[in-house]
Amino acid sequence: MKAVEQVEFRQVTKVFTAGRRTITALDGVSFTVKQGEFWTIIGPSGSGKTTLLRCLAGFETPTSGEILMAGQKVTGPGRDRMMVFQDLAQLFPWRTVLGNVTFALSLAHPEETLRRRQELARYNLELVGLEDYANLYPHQLSGGMKQRVAIARALGVRPQVLLMDEPFGSLDAITRTTLQSELLRIWAETKVTVVFVTHNIEEALVASDHIVVLARGGKVHALVTNTLPRPRQLDDPRFSRLWQHLHRLLEPAPHIPEPSSSGARGPEALPLAKPATGSASSP
Amino acid sequence: MRCLPLDLTATISQGKRGDCLPKYLRQVGFLCALALGWELVARLHIWPELLFPPVTSILGSLATEFSQGEIAGRTWHSLSLIATGLSLACLASFLASALAMLFPVLADALLALMAVLHPLPAIAILPILLLWFKTGPHSIVILIVFSAFWPLTASIYSGLRSVPVTQVEAGRNLGLKGLRLVWHVMLPAALPALMAGLRVSWARAWQASVAAEMVFGASGKDGGLGWFLYIRRYFLEVPAVFAGMLVIIAIGLFVENLLFTSLEHHTIERWGMSSE
Ligand SMILES: Nc1ncnc2c1ncn2[C@@H]1O[C@H](COP(=O)(O)OP(=O)(O)OP(=O)(O)O)[C@@H](O)[C@H]1O
Ligand SMILES: [Mg+2]
């Protein structure tokens, strides 16, 4: 595949003002994503991962700098960038599983016939393995199934980039692992570009080609390229070396106290919560 | 409806699901006993029968009124006015709250108006309505719209404001904005609040329209149930007055327990949204 530049962050800075305080969520973030790549944004809690993704989705406007999408400046939300939120309440509860997907399709592809849209919707539900649940309502689904529907709905629109903000963050470890490998299969099948936010080093390493490590304060701490052959083997010594490397990068600097919030993420977030091992490399 | 025995309305809807049947039956039994007691007291002739007619003559009067077609016509008239009024109120409330959502300035204006006019009992504007629009069905319809608009707008607006942010953003991500976003995403998401508002509005509107016809004979000759009560009282046909009240109660029970409950059953309950 010819690698075309698709998403470009140029010195993106985002400053929030909350009352009298100003919070720098992103600070001069630059990187370039090529078509079909799988990018992961990783960083401690509060390092601006969500903000980065929301800026790319067009829900937030950068304070300075710009984001280009296929060469065009991002000015608002668009169907070329579909977001899958962490929130399990992102589906429309008054529509069935199929209805959620067809609704998105009817907005994205009004030129298609109703019949064709139904077919497309079913194809996308098959992609996430939910074709048998088409007529259920969201409240009748488990958390993992809801996230699959959200992925199907986003993919149905045929976006150029799929944005995912810890979509599996509120799921149990087993469901999470299953969905990760399904996402990889879907990514390989659809060749969609993915920008994925996670807390979890392993999740980042299994999936991505490139990893953006954000530090607290919203600076890019490191850009790590992951060239390990796919499918990634957890027992590969290179995998664990890369894991160690990322873990050191994510270690909190000694003078910044680690907030307890990362512990609340459950056992999957372990890599970040683990006590420091080896020599500390402060940013 | 707040003017009805609340407990009864609650248990009838539960009784439908079969879990509270004994209680429901007990309540029906209690009402039958009350009717029986009424009948006995009336037969004792402590008060003149003209003012305190026995249940049997009330039911008899109900039957004759029905067979002569009068009460059915009046009921139909009342219901068609209220249907017109409530539909207009729904439309106006939707537009007002959607515009308030889209333009903060309008939201301030709407909230200010609501603060002033919501506490005003609708019937209090009737004298002015009669001066401006004369007696007749259109005055009653305006009264109904007025009485339903404020509670409905209050609940739709607050419902729209508390729609989950992610659903709104999912809608925006799909390219929806403005009125289309409100219509396709925010309004259905606010449906639980809308339903609650509709129940209150119906009760207010129903009370206001019956009261208006009765107090001022506002509807003129061609009136509804309120007018029916008014005119029967005028001719001292007391059993017919009671018969009219029974019809009003029956309509209230029907709308509350069958119409709204089944509407909710087929929408927000089915979609798992009723806990909100
Ligand atoms: N709307 C907002 N108003 C004010 N401050 C905000 C807003 N959104 C985010 N922030 C601040 O920006 C910083 C980055 O937040 P962000 O949500 O992007 O972090 P994150 O990396 O996604 O964290 P987590 O891993 O906990 O989800 C935080 O300090 C947060 O308080
Ligand atoms: Mg976040």
The DSSP call for residue A28 is E
Element (H, E) at A6: strand A5-18
Nearest CB partner across the interface for A137, out of B173, B176, B271: B271
Rounded to a whole number of angstroms, the distance from the CA of B82 to the nearest CA of chain A is: 28
B123 has a pLDDT exceeding 90: no
The answer to whether B188 contacts A92, with C-beta atoms less than 8 Å apart, is yes
Whether residue B75 contacts residue B224, with contact meaning beta carbons closer than 8 Å, is answered with yes
Mean pLDDT of B174-197: 93
What pairs with residue A15 in β-bridges?
A24
What pairs with residue A31 in β-bridges?
A9
Q: Is B207 helix (H, G, I), strand (E, B) or coil?
A: helix
What pLDDT, on a 0 to 100 scale, did the predictor assign at position A39? Answer: 96
A269 has a pLDDT exceeding 50: no
Rounded to a whole number of angstroms, the distance from the CA of A90 to the nearest CA of chain B is: 5
What pairs with residue A212 in β-bridges?
A41, A223
Q: Closest ligand 1 atom to the C-alpha of A26?
A: 14
| Gap between the Cα atoms of B209 and B139, Å rounded | 10
Instruction: Quickly state the pLDDT bin for B257 (edges 50, 70, 90).
Output: confident
> Model's pTM, two decimal places?
0.82
- Who's near A171: CB < 8 A, 6+ residues apart? A143, A144, A147, A179
Ligand 1: does its nearest atom lie under 6 Å from the Cβ of A221? no
Whether residue B234 contacts residue B222, with contact meaning beta carbons closer than 8 Å, is answered with no
Ligand 1: does its nearest atom lie under 6 Å from the Cβ of A174? no
Residues A60-104: tens digit of each pLDDT: 999 999 999 999 999 999 999 999 999 999 999 999 999 999 999
Mean pLDDT of chain A: 87
| Gap between the Cα atoms of B85 and B64, Å rounded | 30
Task: Give the rounded percent of residues in chain B with a pLDDT score beyond 70.
Answer: 89
Q: Is A31 helix (H, G, I), strand (E, B) or coil?
A: strand
Instruction: Quickly state the pLDDT bin for B275 (edges 50, 70, 90).
Output: low
| Gap between the Cα atoms of B30 and B23, Å rounded | 10
What pLDDT, on a 0 to 100 scale, did the predictor assign at position A83? Answer: 96
Residues A139-196: tens digit of each pLDDT: 999 999 999 999 999 999 999 999 999 998 888 888 888 889 999 999 999 999 999 9
CATH class of residue range B72-269: mainly alpha
> Ligand 1 test: best mutation among A14, A21, A23, most atoms within 8 Å of CB?
A23
Residues A193-238: tens digit of each pLDDT: 999 999 889 999 999 999 999 999 999 999 999 999 988 988 999 9
* Residue A255 sits at the chain B interface (C-beta within 8 Å): no
Residues B26-41: tens digit of each pLDDT: 888 999 999 999 999 8
The answer to whether A85 contacts B273, with C-beta atoms less than 8 Å apart, is no
What pLDDT, on a 0 to 100 scale, did the predictor assign at position B19? Answer: 54
Mean pLDDT of chain B: 86
| Gap between the Cα atoms of A280 and A258, Å rounded | 14
Ligand 1: does its nearest atom lie under 6 Å from the Cβ of A50? yes
Which residues of A fall within a CB distance of 8 Å from B166?
85, 87, 89-90
Whether residue B20 contacts residue B225, with contact meaning beta carbons closer than 8 Å, is answered with no
What pLDDT, on a 0 to 100 scale, did the predictor assign at position A255? Answer: 54
**Residue ranges of the alpha helices (H) in chain B?**
6-16, 21-43, 55-67, 70-102, 104-117, 126-133, 137-161, 165-173, 178-181, 187-189, 191-216, 225-234, 238-253, 261-266
What pLDDT, on a 0 to 100 scale, did the predictor assign at position B213? Answer: 83
Nearest CB partner across the interface for A83, out of B173, B175, B185: B173
The answer to whether B173 contacts A137, with C-beta atoms less than 8 Å apart, is no
The answer to whether A139 contacts B272, with C-beta atoms less than 8 Å apart, is yes
Q: Closest ligand 1 atom to the C-alpha of A199?
A: 25
The DSSP call for residue A172 is -
Strand order from edge to edge, sheet including A5-18: A21-34, A5-18, A64-69, A72-73
Question: Which residues are in the CB-under-5-Å shell of ion ligand 2?
Answer: A 50
What pLDDT, on a 0 to 100 scale, did the predictor assign at position B22? Answer: 78
| Gap between the Cα atoms of B149 and B145, Å rounded | 6
Whether residue A156 contacts residue A98, with contact meaning beta carbons closer than 8 Å, is answered with no
A102: tokens are: 């067809």
| Gap between the Cα atoms of B158 and A239, Å rounded | 52
Chain A residue with Cα closest to B177: A77
* Domain chopping of chain B, boundaries: 72-269
How many secondary structure helices (H) and strands (E) does chain A include? Answer: 8, 10
State the distance from the centre of ligand 1 to the C-alpha of A45, rounded, in angstroms: 8
Chain B residues contacting A, CB < 8 Å? 164, 166-167, 169-170, 172-176, 184-185, 188-189, 191, 267, 270-273
Rounded to a whole number of angstroms, the distance from the CA of B93 to the nearest CA of chain A is: 21
Q: Which ligand is nearest to the CA of A54?
A: 1
* Residue A65 sits at the chain B interface (C-beta within 8 Å): no
| Gap between the Cα atoms of B205 and B216, Å rounded | 16
Any idea which of A5-14, A101-110, A198-207, B9-18 has the lowest mean pLDDT?
Answer: B9-18
State the distance from the centre of ligand 1 to the C-alpha of A225, rounded, in angstroms: 25
| Gap between the Cα atoms of B208 and B163, Å rounded | 31
Residues A25-53: tens digit of each pLDDT: 999 999 999 999 999 999 999 999 999 99
Task: Give the rounded percent of residues in chain B with a pLDDT score beyond 90.
Answer: 49
B14 has a pLDDT exceeding 90: no
ipTM of the complex: 0.85
B185: tokens are: 């995403």
Any idea which of A57-71, A81-95, A246-260, B100-114 has the lowest mean pLDDT?
Answer: A246-260
In order of A86, A247, B174, the CA distances from A196 in angstroms are: 11, 18, 19
Q: Which residue has the higher pLDDT, B223 or A184?
A: A184
A259 has a pLDDT exceeding 80: no
Q: Whose CA is nearest to atom 17 of ligand 1?
A: A50
Instruction: Quickly state the pLDDT bin for B112 (edges 50, 70, 90).
Output: very high
**Residue ranges of the alpha helices (H) in A109-142?**
114-127
What pLDDT, on a 0 to 100 scale, did the predictor assign at position B216? Answer: 63
